[in-house]
Amino acid sequence: MLMKEYIKDHRHVLFVAFLCILTGWGMLALYNVEKEAILYTIVLIVVILLLYTITDYRRYKKQHEQMKQILNSYRITDWFPNSTLMQRDMLAILDLLEKERMKDMENYDRQKDQLQDYFSLWAHQIKLPIAALKLLLEDENIDRSECRTQLHRIETYSNMAMAYLRLNSLQTDYLVKELALDPLIRQCIRSFSGECIRKKIRMQFTETNQTVVSDEKWLGFVLEQLLSNAIKYSEYKGLIEIYMEQNTLVIQDHGRGIDAADLHRVFEKGFTGANGRIETSASGIGLYLCKQITDRLHHTLAIESDVGQGTMVMVGLDQIQYRLE
């Protein structure tokens, strides 16, 4: 098999050697040289060529074995200590490519571990509304409003998982266009009507009358996550205000608030802080996703909060120049 590959790689050299023998034989025959002399000359050339081929094949085989060993080596240059300058340059490039490959493998392993950790937590989270829904369905006097609330929680967790998977996917598409902001906000508010009724939370929405440039689906996901957090950490009979202030959409609650020591880390993946120890269903993924999405949409996302006073989330929606679809 290796000999076949050798012949294939050196077919041009062998073809030229054959032409040289044929030409030499023709020239000698043309000048009426005795056939015996011609035969001896050709045999001598063939023997020299055969000896060269055997020597070169051994070198070829040795290099092939070295290359196979390199595949399991982390330092390629160790295999060629007496290489030329050009070879050392090539080996340095191979070393660099190997380091990049190892880095990619480490990133892949880390992302795989993070994905496994997240979906382990996600499975625990989604069991809670499913269990609550089962209990509600066993009651003869079914509370339809509470059922819708639990179904919405399941839908929210499912959307979060899909967003987590699609965020770094090459197939993630962003359909950026001009869209009316108020209908999108009202749609998000309506989706939480059941939870607001249950906790008697009042949504005070001031019409913005704004048209923004964004992706409707992804911006809607961000708004739903922010409203979900506002409701989750609001007190019973609390108030959530939604209004526009200088091209910045503000979602303000008057609930638990965020500890100052945690405030600068709220956008980190998996960080839950002091509130996470109280609210066991917190995953630390929602705000991370919101930050990643707003960055990609060229929006801004900032949070101000005081413990016991509430939290103000600000989404900057300045008109950015896009190639509109």
Chosen domain end from 72, 99, 130: 72
Retrieve residue 18's tokens: 């054959």
Instruction: Kindly tell me the sign of the dihedral angle through the C-alpha atoms of 244, 245, 247, 253.
Output: negative
Among 18-32, 96-110, 146-160, whose mean pLDDT is lowest? 18-32
Residue 73 DSSP code: -
Nearest-angstrom CA–CA distance, 265 and 250: 20
Among 45-49, 82-86, 117-121, 309-313, whose mean pLDDT is lowest? 82-86
Nearest-angstrom CA–CA distance, 57 and 45: 18
Query: Is 116 domain-assigned?
Result: no
Query: Is 200 domain-assigned?
Result: yes
Average pLDDT over residues 152-180: 80
Query: Is 291 domain-assigned?
Result: yes
Indicate if the pLDDT at residue 207 is higher than 90: yes
Residue 298 · residue 292 · CB < 8 Å:
no
Nearest-angstrom CA–CA distance, 308 and 311: 9
Burial class (CB in 10 A: 0-12, 13-18, 19+), 58: exposed
Query: Is 128 domain-assigned?
Result: no
Indicate if the pLDDT at residue 242 is higher than 90: yes
Nearest-angstrom CA–CA distance, 285 and 267: 8
Place of tokens 């339809």: 144
What's the pLDDT at 239? 93
22-51 pLDDT, tens per residue?
Answer: 887 787 777 777 777 778 877 888 888 888
Retrieve residue 306's tokens: 């005081």
Angular region, 152: left φ>0, alpha ψ -120 to 50, beta rest: alpha
What's the pLDDT at 275? 60
Query: Is 153 domain-assigned?
Result: no
Residue 201 DSSP code: P
Average pLDDT over residues 152-169: 81
179/61 same-domain check: no
Query: Is 142 domain-assigned?
Result: no
Residue 313 · residue 226 · CB < 8 Å:
yes
Average pLDDT over residues 280-300: 83
Residue 304 · residue 312 · CB < 8 Å:
yes
Terminal alpha carbon distance of the chain: 55
Indicate if the pLDDT at residue 244 is higher than 80: yes
Indicate if the pLDDT at residue 172 is higher than 90: no
Close Cβ partners of 21 (under 8 Å, ≥ 6 residues apart): 42, 45, 46, 49
Q: Please state, for a pLDDT cut of 70, what percent of the chain lies above it.
A: 86
169 or 112, higher pLDDT? 112
Range of the domain at 285: 173-316
181/300 same-domain check: yes
What's the pLDDT at 315? 95
Average pLDDT over residues 290-296: 90
- Report which listed range, 27-31, 163-167, 302-306, is most confident: 302-306
Among 64-78, 223-237, 253-267, 284-298, whose mean pLDDT is lowest? 64-78
What's the pLDDT at 324? 47
Beta strands in the chain (DSSP E): 176-180, 202-205, 211-215, 239-244, 248-253, 300-306, 310-316
Average pLDDT over residues 71-90: 60
19 or 301, higher pLDDT? 301
- C-beta atoms surrounding 185 within 10 Å: 23
Query: Is 325 domain-assigned?
Result: no
311/178 same-domain check: yes
214 or 325, higher pLDDT? 214
205 or 150, higher pLDDT? 205
180/304 same-domain check: yes
Nearest-angstrom CA–CA distance, 310 and 239: 10
Query: Is 288 domain-assigned?
Result: yes
Chosen domain end from 72, 96, 118: 72
* pLDDT tier at 126, thresholds 50, 70, 90: confident
Q: How much is the pTM? A: 0.62
Nearest-angstrom CA–CA distance, 157 and 155: 6
What's the pLDDT at 323? 46
* Total number of domains in the chain: 2
Query: The domain that contains 297 carries what CATH number?
Result: 3.30.565.10
182/291 same-domain check: yes
What's the pLDDT at 325? 46
Indicate if the pLDDT at residue 254 is higher than 70: yes
211-215 and 176-180: which strand pairing?
A: antiparallel
Mean pLDDT for all residues in the chain: 81
Chosen domain end from 72, 101, 124: 72
Place of tokens 């045999």: 43
